[in-house]
Structure formats: structure tokens, C-alpha cells
Amino acid sequence: MALSRRLLPLFLRRGAGARAHLSTAAAAAPAASASEEEDEQSVIVKGVRISGRPLYMDMQATTPVDPRVLDAMLPFYLSRYGNPHSRTHLYGWESDAAVEAARARVAALVGADPREIFFTSGATECNNIAVKGVMRFYRDRRRHVVTTQTEHKCVLDSCRYLQQEGFEVTYLPVRGDGLVDLAQLEDAIRPDTGLVSVMAVNNEIGVVQPLEEIGRICKEKGVPFHTDAAQALGKIPIDVNRMGIGLMSLSGHKIYGPKGVGALYLRRRPRIRVEPQMSGGGQERGIRSGTVPTPLVVGFGAACEIAAQEMDYDHRRVSALQQRLLDGIRAQVDEVVINGSMEHRYPGNLNLSFAYVEGESLLMGLKEVAVSSGSACTSASLEPSYVLRALGVEEDMAHTSIRFGMGRFTTEEEVDRAIELTVHQVKKLRDMSPLYEMAKAGIDLKSIEWSQH
């Protein structure tokens, strides 16, 4: 009962409406005084106390665990806690069966054979195995990689690591809408190219790359095609055979599953080989040694099963929320730019730049809304987003970008509140901006020669 009392507030609204949903024992607990409840619900952020936790609109960084996923996981923490690699007793057998059932659920969501799914700790590990593993295995014949400038940092860093080992890498530019130029990609492939790696859905701007066309080019050239699909899984339809995907990186916590688990899809026919990046007991058929975490894997499988059932509904609902957010902001604020293609985009990711507003100042002002200015994996950097710079976005506009992430549990009320707070903060910052005042007066800011003191 204590467990349920701690977990339920994560999914239920505060106040009397939420209290009505609590268990009988919880409802019978003494009611806290108004002042005590207010202090308990208030949160201090950056030295400022706000009433309650912020609205969560950062779904590309991570998603909340779906309660149905948690229900599937709990037995494997509390009673069915066997090591799935234990072959001599019931505890190991039932855990192994649960892992294989989850493997089948993940495979079904992407049209794969369960034997092609290998569990890992997450998409970063998958990307390292895919990029480094393929090139090291075929190092005698393949010395060249093709990727794009807008890939996730772990793919780019893996490619730079390979360069230090003597491999060559081509970093393709993208068009202004964030999409790769297919003709450039085809021209970049050489006889010694060992891998083409292109992200399915970009984590910063939500752009969906033409996977089927890229897969066709790679198949014609005889080159394995790897895609980082962490942001795509469960959000857009994926069929590894139709899209010609040879390797694919997946993550659990981007689809309302647990953190700490992911999966690598590795094609069996024609077989693609990788050099393992970790030595150990040979689990996951030697591709990824280490004890498979049964509860996490079960949660990942449950999240994939739910996504398969609800993808169409989630997509329609998130599309409506995206349009509501965009229309609400644009109706009250001018000089708002959408970063990335709107036609080829996952609607749960809306990346906007607000001219004449510094992005970090806007983020600081939006303490009641949990949003970001780019990838959580590179948020420590004060440099403008390398993804936006690759799109040709000017540095000042790249600094003003905010990424709004919506998902399964986002409500219309939360979107409306986000609109209200964003509009208020943008107007407040622009009122203090001499640049905005000059632009409204018709002065061409680019023609001004600024002096340095």
C-alpha cells in the first residue's frame, strides 16, 4: 500500500479530484493543513519558489513510464527476480521466458525476427556497437563511413573515434528543412564504404528522414544501413525489411518504458556482423555481455506492445496538440520560426525560435514549464545547437530556440498553460530588447556596424 501511495501522485492530478482516486487507506489518512500542503507541493527552482511541479513538455529527453508498463515490471522486482541466465531452476526459467516474450514484442513493433533483437543499456550503447562494431569487423575491406552533420552526439563521437583509428568519415550536410539530400548521399558512398548511418527522427527538431529511400540506395550499393531510431520507435511506423534497415538503435525510455534498457536490431539475412564492444559472459549471443535486466526488458517489451496498439491514436492526438500550441503562440507573438520541416516531422517535437529573445533567458523565465533548448545530452554546452547550425540557422536565432515535446500524457490544459506562459515571457523579454524596438522601427539590424569597446 505504501508503494501505491508513492506512485499514484505521479499520474493523478493534485487536489480533491486526485484525492478521490486514492485507495481507501490513503483517503482515510489525516488531511494536511492548507499551509503544509502548499509547502509540500511548492518547489524551489533556481532560487525561486513555484507552486507545484512544472508542466512537463520535454518528451524528447525522456518520457514518464506508462502505469501499464510499471504493472508488467513489478512482479520481476518482487517475486520473479531470477537471473534469466540461470538454467537450473524455476526462477531462471520464468525470467528467461519473460525476456524472450519481451524480445518478440520489440521485434513485432519493427517487423523483425526476434532473433535479430539484442538487448543493451540504451540507444547510446547500440549506436556504439553499430558504428564501431561494423567498421572494426570489416576493417580489412571497409574503411569509410557516411553519416550526417545532425546525428546524435554518440554517433558523431563514435565516428570521430574511428577517425582516430585511421577510418575516413563523410559528414553530409542537410538541407534547410533538416532532410538529407539523397543525391549527395548516393554520391558519397564509395567502394570501401562500410556503413551509412542516418537518424530516423531527429531528437532536436523532429524531422523524419526518408528511410525507405536511403535503404534502397544502400541496398543497391551493397552497404549496410544503420539508423538511430530512438525517437522514432512507437511514434512512426517502422518496417526494417521494407525500409532496408540493416542495423537499428532503440531505447526504452523514449516510449514510456524504463530507463537503462535499449535494443539493437541486427539483420540476419543477409547477415551483418559486428565486433562486440564489451567482453564478458557472452550473453545476447556474444553481442552484448552482461546480465540481462529482466524487469527493464519486460517493461520495454510492454511499452512496445502498447505503442503498437495505440500508435495511430497517439499520433492523431499529439498532432492536434502540436497545432494547438503553434496556433496559440503565433496568434499572439510575431517573428516565430519553426526549425525543421513541418511536412516530414514527428508532431510531438516542435522546435521554435523567437527572434530578439535569448533562449536561456526564456528558459529561465519558463520555470513552470519543463522544456529545453536542445538535446539533453549536450545541454551543458553554451554553444548554439549544432543541429540548428547545420540547417543554416543563424547563430542569434539558434540561441533563441525552444523545443516543446508533447506526448501520450500531455493534456490540452497543459498546452494552453504553456502558451500563456511562453507568450507572456517572450513579450516581457522583447519589451526589454532594444533590438526588437529597432526592428519594429524598420531598422535593418544586419546593416549596422557595431563598435567594440
pLDDT in tens, 218-228: 999 999 999 99
pLDDT in tens, 205-214: 999 999 999 9
Residue 86, SS3? Answer: coil
From residue 422, alpha-carbon distances to 58, 205, 329, 368 in Å are 15, 19, 8, 10
| 105 touches 234 (CB < 8 A) | no
Span 190-207, average pLDDT: 98
DSSP string, 177-233: TS-B-HHHHHHH--TTEEEEE--SB-TTT-BBP-HHHHHHHHHHHT--EEEE-TTTT
Handedness of CA 86, 89, 90, 91 (dihedral sign): negative
Sort 106 into a burial class: Cβ within 10 Å, 0-12 / 13-18 / 19+: buried
pLDDT in tens, 340-391: 999 999 999 999 999 999 888 898 889 899 999 864 444 445 678 999 999 9
| 215 touches 226 (CB < 8 A) | no
pLDDT at 447: 67
Rounded Cα–Cα distance for residues 116 and 25 (Å): 47
- Starting at the edge strand found earlier in the chain, the sheet holding 225-228 runs 117-120, 262-266, 247-251, 225-228, 193-197, 144-148, 168-172
Task: Give, for 353, the enclosing helix (H) or strand (E).
Answer: strand 349-354
Q: Where are the domains of the chain?
A: 67-306, 310-439
Span 233-252, average pLDDT: 98
Span 138-148, average pLDDT: 97
Annotation: CATH topology of 310-439: Aspartate Aminotransferase, domain 1 (3.90.1150)
- Give the single-character DSSP code of 10: G
Cell digits for 201? 527522427
Percent of the chain with pLDDT over 90: 77
pLDDT band at 37 (very low <50, low <70, confident <90, very high): low
Catalytically annotated residue among 126, 154, 218, 377 = 377
| pLDDT for 149 beyond 90 | yes
Rounded Cα–Cα distance for residues 302 and 142 (Å): 38
Average pLDDT along the chain: 89
pLDDT band at 86 (very low <50, low <70, confident <90, very high): very high
Cell digits for 217? 540506395
pLDDT at 39: 61
Q: Say whether the peptide bond before residue 270 is cis (omega within 30 degrees of 0).
A: yes
- Rounded (10°) angle between helices 123-137 and 153-164: 30
Span 34-54, average pLDDT: 67
Sort 191 into a burial class: Cβ within 10 Å, 0-12 / 13-18 / 19+: exposed
Q: Cβ contacts of residue 26 below 8 Å, gap of 6+?
A: 1, 4, 5, 8
218 belongs to the catalytic site: no
From residue 104, alpha-carbon distances to 99, 255, 300 in Å are 9, 17, 11
Rounded Cα–Cα distance for residues 226 and 193 (Å): 13
| 99 touches 247 (CB < 8 A) | no
Rounded Cα–Cα distance for residues 381 and 379 (Å): 5
Q: Is it true that domain 67-306 has CATH number 1.10.10.10?
A: no
From residue 232, alpha-carbon distances to 131, 252, 292, 374, 392 in Å are 19, 11, 24, 17, 24
Q: Of 71-75, 387-391, 445-449, which gets the smallest average pLDDT?
A: 445-449
- Give the single-character DSSP code of 114: G
- The closest of 386, 359, 389, 387 to 373, measured between CA atoms, is 359
pTM score of the predicted model? 0.88
